[in-house]
């Protein structure tokens, strides 16, 4: 049942090229760049009238939500608020008919996320679910569902569901942008084409990074703490890398916006601390290049204090090799799609470290796959 893999988690990490392809299947046209979303009880006119989107989710799905905010705001120019589902109801959120509720959930049964959805509906909002389990409660109560076609996820640590959620969010953002006229046909075509190339790129990363991460695990599995840094849309990926590591290896890990280090966390750095930095860039995107340059100075802040840096960077980036201890390479992609690639080495790193520490990777202590209590 594990298809020759030692753990479900590893099998699911390796299923990502297929999961990503299946999530786009039938929803994009390479000729026109258009995105089609079926099963929506929300009209294009309603999509045009939306003034704000409220996203609620938990755990890894909340990280997808936080990356999704960048996609929706950048492409559709609609302001997005992201909440932990467990916090949403208790702040008397501002929501109504012109607010769209978006729930992100692998299981579709998470109690807090369901409660947030009911609060949104009670306030008069329509809701869309991004969900992996067909017919799950949250999908049944939503006015529209974008199913992620990741297939059943058994490992408690979410992997293929996460990258599929990012794909679904990207499709949703681009669809909204097309309905609202905030994206050109040219840009749509370029983005849809880039989306269709992702499965091959993920396959390439799996091929090169698996053994590299295994080697890094040998070196760093004894660490007591770890830091994950990113900027912009890569900050939620840093959070996700930290969550993966802590939940399966029990190493204390934190994700931080790289620029915030000097406001406190720099005090933690010493020669025993591995710092994993997302230092990719999209050459065609000015903001991304700027983000990359700032990230390089953040890396120097870490190395100047003897921290050990593992960077995730774009293939062919020779400059970064001079600055850090290890580089994990990924292929280039547009900025909004890079998270789907740069999370893969983080998943592999967490997996190999946990295996080396003898942890029960698929069934970490104190955790359940589906959290049905508030
Ligand atoms: O089924 P959901 O996506 O609603 O679950 C949300 C979280 O419980 C889940 O992502 C959890 O954080 C995972 N263990 C992360 O790997």
How far does residue 114's CA lie from ligand 1's centre (Å)?
A: 13
Ligand 1 atom nearest to CA at 157? 16
ipTM: 0.98
DSSP classification of residue 336: G
Give the Cα separation of 168 and 255 in Å (integer).
Answer: 24
The angle at the Cα of 49, spanning 43 to 50, to the nearest 5 degrees, equals 95
**Span 76-129, pLDDT tens digits:** 999 999 999 999 999 999 999 999 999 999 999 999 999 999 999 999 999 999
Cα-Cα-Cα-Cα torsion 323, 325, 327, 328, nearest 10 degrees, comes to: -150
Mutate to test the pocket of ligand 1, among 371, 372, 373 (most ligand atoms within 8 A of CB): 371
Residue 325 has pLDDT above 90, yes or no: yes
3-state secondary structure of 363: coil
Give the Cα separation of 11 and 154 in Å (integer).
Answer: 10
Report residue 373's pLDDT band, with 50, 70 and 90 as the boundaries.
confident
DSSP classification of residue 266: G
Mutate to test the pocket of ligand 1, among 13, 61, 139, 365 (most ligand atoms within 8 A of CB): 61
Report residue 266's pLDDT band, with 50, 70 and 90 as the boundaries.
confident
Hey, which residues does 130 pair with through a beta bridge? 104, 146
**Span 282-313, pLDDT tens digits:** 999 999 999 999 999 999 999 999 999 999 99
Residue 370 has pLDDT above 90, yes or no: no
Ligand 1 atom nearest to CA at 161? 3
Report residue 240's pLDDT band, with 50, 70 and 90 as the boundaries.
very high
Q: Which of 35, 76, 75, 70 is nearest to 193 (CA)?
A: 35
Give the Cα separation of 363 and 247 in Å (integer).
Answer: 10
The per-residue pLDDT for 11 is 98
The per-residue pLDDT for 223 is 96
User: Does the pTM exceed 0.95?
Assistant: yes
135 φ/ψ sector (left φ>0, alpha ψ -120 to 50, else beta): left
The per-residue pLDDT for 372 is 86
The per-residue pLDDT for 221 is 97
Ligand 1 atom nearest to CA at 159? 16
Give the Cα separation of 149 and 164 in Å (integer).
Answer: 7
The angle at the Cα of 122, spanning 119 to 128, to the nearest 5 degrees, equals 70
Report residue 374's pLDDT band, with 50, 70 and 90 as the boundaries.
confident
Give the Cα separation of 253 and 228 in Å (integer).
Answer: 7
**Span 124-179, pLDDT tens digits:** 999 999 999 999 999 999 999 999 999 999 999 999 999 999 999 999 999 999 99
The per-residue pLDDT for 39 is 78
How far does residue 179's CA lie from ligand 1's centre (Å)?
A: 31
* Burial (CB count <10 Å: 0-12, 13-18, 19+), residue 285: middle
Strands of the 274-278 sheet, one edge to the other: 252-257, 225-230, 274-278, 308-314, 326-330
| Contact between residue 319 and residue 213 where contact means Cβ atoms under 8 Å apart | no
List the end-to-end C-alpha distance of the chain, in Å, as a whole number: 32
3-state secondary structure of 359: coil
Instruction: Return mean pLDDT, the chain.
Output: 96
| Contact between residue 310 and residue 216 where contact means Cβ atoms under 8 Å apart | yes
**Span 22-57, pLDDT tens digits:** 999 999 999 999 999 987 999 999 999 999 999 999
How far does residue 160's CA lie from ligand 1's centre (Å)?
A: 12
Mean pLDDT in residue range 176-187: 97
Q: Which of 16, 6, 23 is nearest to 346 (CA)?
A: 16
Residue 1 has pLDDT above 90, yes or no: no
Task: Take residue 34 and report the two structure tokens written for it.
Answer: 């258009």
| Contact between residue 108 and residue 139 where contact means Cβ atoms under 8 Å apart | yes
C-alpha dist (Å) from residue 89 to 105, 121, 122, 345? 17, 12, 11, 35
Give the Cα separation of 174 and 75 in Å (integer).
Answer: 6
Task: Take residue 244 and report the two structure tokens written for it.
Answer: 């993966």
Mutate to test the pocket of ligand 1, among 7, 9, 13, 58 (most ligand atoms within 8 A of CB): 58
């Amino acid at each position: 049942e594990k298809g020759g893999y030692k753990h479900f988690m590893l099998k699911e990490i390796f299923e990502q090229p297929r999961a990503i392809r299946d999530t786009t299947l039938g929803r994009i046209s390479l000729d026109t760049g258009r995105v089609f979303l079926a099963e929506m009880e929300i009209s294009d006119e309603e999509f045009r009238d939306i003034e704000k989107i409220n996203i609620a989710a938990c755990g890894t799905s909340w990280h997808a939500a936080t990356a999704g905010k960048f996609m929706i705001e950048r492409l559709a120019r609609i302001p997005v608020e992201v909440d932990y589902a467990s916090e949403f109801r208790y702040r008397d959120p501002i929501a109504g008919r012109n607010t769209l509720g978006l729930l992100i959930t692998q299981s579709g049964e998470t109690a807090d996320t369901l409660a947030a959805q009911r609060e949104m509906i009670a306030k008069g909002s329509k809701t869309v679910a991004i969900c992996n389990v067909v017919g799950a409660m949250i999908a049944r109560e939503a006015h529209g569902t974008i199913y992620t076609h990741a297939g059943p996820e058994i490992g408690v640590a979410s992997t293929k569901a996460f990258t599929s959620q990012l794909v679904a969010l990207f499709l949703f953002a681009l669809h909204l942008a097309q309905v609202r006229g905030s994206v050109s046909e040219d840009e749509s075509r370029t983005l849809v084409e880039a989306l269709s190339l992702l499965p091959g790129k993920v396959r390439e990363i799996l091929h090169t990074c698996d053994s590299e991460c295994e080697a890094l695990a040998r070196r760093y599995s004894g660490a007591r703490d770890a830091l994950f840094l990113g900027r912009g849309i890569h900050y939620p990926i840093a959070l996700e890398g930290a969550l993966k590591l802590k939940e399966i290896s029990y190493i204390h890990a934190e994700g931080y916006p790289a620029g915030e280090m000097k406001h406190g966390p720099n005090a933690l750095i010493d020669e025993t601390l591995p710092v994993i930095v997302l230092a990719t860039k999209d050459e065609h995107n000015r903001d991304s290049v700027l983000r990359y340059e700032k990230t390089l100075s953040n890396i120097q802040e870490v190395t100047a204090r003897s921290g050990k840096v593992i960077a995730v960077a774009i293939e062919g980036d020779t400059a970064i090799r001079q600055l850090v201890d290890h580089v994990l390479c990924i292929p280039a992609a547009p900025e909004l799609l890079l998270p789907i690639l740069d999370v893969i080495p983080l998943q592999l790193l967490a997996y190999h470290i946990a295996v080396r520490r003898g942890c029960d990777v698929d069934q970490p202590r104190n955790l359940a796959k589906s959290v049905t209590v508030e």
